[in-house]
């Protein structure tokens, strides 16, 4: 039996090829999952860009002898097509972390009615957040009518949720406003929505390109929307910045504009400041606080340790449903068929040619 995978060259992300490989025998205790659907978002680009630094290339090793090739992880739905595990029957559907491919095997552990973890040895060094799968038949977050929205928004929204949770735990560092770069991104929209619900006293300012201003304003999630060219006109008051764009020039301009009024500089969805090309390793020369990378999975481990899976899940669910209502109709969902469509969509996303008002779901 063969399966298909998209192999991406780690140091040349535009090199993405469709490969047919042998599936092999299903190991004892394992289940085989056929990938039904997944979304392709800017989040997947982040996984590829910072892959070596955070182990994202290690979740789904490609069946190839070329060490410089990897598989970009996706979020989506899959169905059990073969089972060597008595807890799972053929036909059961799950949601979680998937390869950009047509099928994969997992070794279920920590099995409950609502979830399980993949205990495959090479996945254990990475964050447990990515190894957890929801069993849809008993998953309290599952809504059959919102499966596409969950794939497109879910992981990005949760990152926005945990950023707000972290900022609130720190009293927003005394800030009166938060400036979000790449305000059209789904993660920024998630943060803006949760902050509007949980931190209404903090003003939300979205930064975006001139071509995305109308879209960002249409979401109604921001108190103000500005273009990157107008950073110098932003009101000077105690501020935190959350950078989703990964543009060192923009980040530098924010620091130089706010100087000591910038109380915290948070980096999300991009690599360490020292690796941002135009910064040239000069992060220490910026006025204000040192930019600090937030790794959401680590914060979620601490969050669930504090609140537990039930209460923590309810906290997320409450803000999640409000977010869905807020963004309803702002993004049109397009379904594309075939694994090669995933490859082309990934390349389009990499090149920045996907309209932020469009969400892409692939059915491989």
Residue-wise pLDDT for 40-62, tens only, equals 987 888 888 877 777 899 999 99
65-80 tens-digit pLDDT: 888 999 999 999 999 9
Tokens of 209: 């390109």
Q: Which CATH number fits domain 156-297: 3.40.50.720, 3.40.50.2300, 1.20.1090.10, 3.40.640.10?
A: 3.40.50.720
Indicate the burial class of 160 (C-beta count within 10 angstroms; 0-12, 13-18, 19 or more): buried
Query: Is there a contact between 58 and 125 (Cβ–Cβ < 8 Å)?
Result: yes
Q: How far apart are the first and last CA of the chain?
A: 17
Residues in Cβ contact with 66 at an 8 Å cutoff, skipping those fewer than 6 apart: 7
Residues in Cβ contact with 238 at an 8 Å cutoff, skipping those fewer than 6 apart: 173, 174, 175, 176, 177, 261, 263
Residues 157-169, mean pLDDT to the nearest whole number: 94
pLDDT at residue 268 greater than cutoff 50: yes
> In which residue are the tokens 């932020």 written?
356
Mean pLDDT of the chain: 89
Residues 20-36, mean pLDDT to the nearest whole number: 95
Q: What are phi and psi of 5, to 5 degrees?
A: -140, 155
Q: Which residue has the higher pLDDT, 295 or 236?
A: 236
pLDDT at residue 270 greater than cutoff 60: no
* Torsion angle defined by CA atoms of residues 198, 201, 202 and 205, in that order, rounded to the nearest 10 degrees: 100
Asked, colleague to colleague, whether 2-142+332-363 and 156-297 share their fold, the answer is: no
The model's confidence at residue 274, banded by pLDDT at 50, 70 and 90, is very low
- C-alpha span between 213 and 218 (Å, rounded): 8
Top-tier CATH class for 2-142+332-363: alpha beta
The model's confidence at residue 84, banded by pLDDT at 50, 70 and 90, is very high
The model's confidence at residue 269, banded by pLDDT at 50, 70 and 90, is low
pLDDT at residue 325 greater than cutoff 80: yes
SS (H, E, C) the chain: CEEEEEEEECCEEEEEEEEEEECCCCCCCCEEEEEEEEEECHHHHHHHHCHHHHCHHHCCCCCCCCCCEECCEEEEEEEEEEECCCCCCCCCEEEEEEECECEEEECEECCCCCEEEECCHHHCCCCHHHHEEEEHHHCCCCCHHHHHHHHHHHHHHHHHHHHHHHHHHCHHHHCCEEEECCCCCHHHHHHHHHHHHHCCCCEEEEEECHHHHHHHHHHCCCCEEEEHHHHHHCCCCCEEEEECCCCHHHHHHHHHHHHHHEEEEEECCCCCHHHCHHHCCCHHHCCCCCCEECCHHHHHHHHHHHHHHHHHHHHHHHHHHHHHHHHCCCCEEEEEECHHHHHHHHHHHHCCCCCCCEEEEEEC
pTM confidence score: 0.79
Pairing of β 103-106 and β 31-40: antiparallel
Domain boundaries, the chain: 2-142+332-363, 156-297
Of 9, 6, 36, residue with least CA distance to 21: 6
């Amino acid at each position: 039996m063969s399966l298909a995978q998209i192999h991406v060259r780690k140091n040349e992300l535009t090199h993405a090829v469709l490969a047919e490989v042998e599936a092999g025998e299903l190991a004892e205790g394992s289940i085989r999952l056929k990938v039904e659907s997944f979304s392709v978002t800017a989040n997947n680009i982040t996984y590829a860009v910072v892959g070596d630094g955070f182990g994202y290339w290690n979740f789904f090793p490609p069946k190839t002898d070329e060490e410089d090739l990897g598989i970009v992880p996706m979020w989506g739905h899959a169905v059990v097509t073969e089972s060597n595990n008595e807890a799972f029957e053929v036909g059961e559907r799950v949601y979680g972390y998937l390869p950009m491919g047509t099928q994969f095997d997992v070794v279920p552990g920590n099995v409950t009615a609502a979830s399980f973890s993949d205990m495959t040895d090479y996945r254990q060094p990475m964050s447990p957040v990515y190894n957890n799968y929801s069993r849809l038949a008993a998953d309290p977050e599952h809504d059959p009518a919102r499966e596409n929205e969950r794939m497109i928004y879910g992981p990005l929204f949760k990152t926005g949720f945990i950023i707000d949770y972290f900022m609130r735990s720190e009293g927003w560092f005394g800030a009166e406003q938060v400036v979000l770069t790449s305000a059209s991104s789904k993660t920024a929209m998630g943060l803006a929505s949760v902050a509007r619900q949980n931190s209404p006293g903090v003003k939300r300012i979205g930064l975006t390109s001139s071509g995305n201003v109308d879209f960002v304003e249409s979401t109604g999630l921001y108190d103000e929307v500005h273009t990157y060219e107008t950073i110098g006109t932003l009101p000077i008051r105690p501020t935190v910045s959350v950078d989703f764009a990964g543009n060192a020039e923009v980040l530098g301009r924010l620091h130089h504009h706010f100087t000591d009024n910038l109380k915290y500089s948070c980096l999300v969805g991009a690599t360490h400041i020292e690796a941002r090309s135009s910064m040239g390793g000069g992060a220490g020369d910026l006025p204000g606080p040192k930019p600090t990378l937030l790794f959401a999975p680590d914060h979620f481990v601490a969050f669930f340790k504090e609140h537990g899976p039930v209460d923590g899940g309810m906290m997320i669910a409450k803000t999640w449903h409000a977010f869905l209502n807020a963004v309803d109709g702002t993004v049109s969902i397009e379904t594309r068929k075939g694994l090669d469509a995933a490859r082309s969509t990934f390349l389009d996303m990499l090149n920045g040619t996907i309209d932020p008002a469009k969400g892409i779901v692939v059915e491989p």
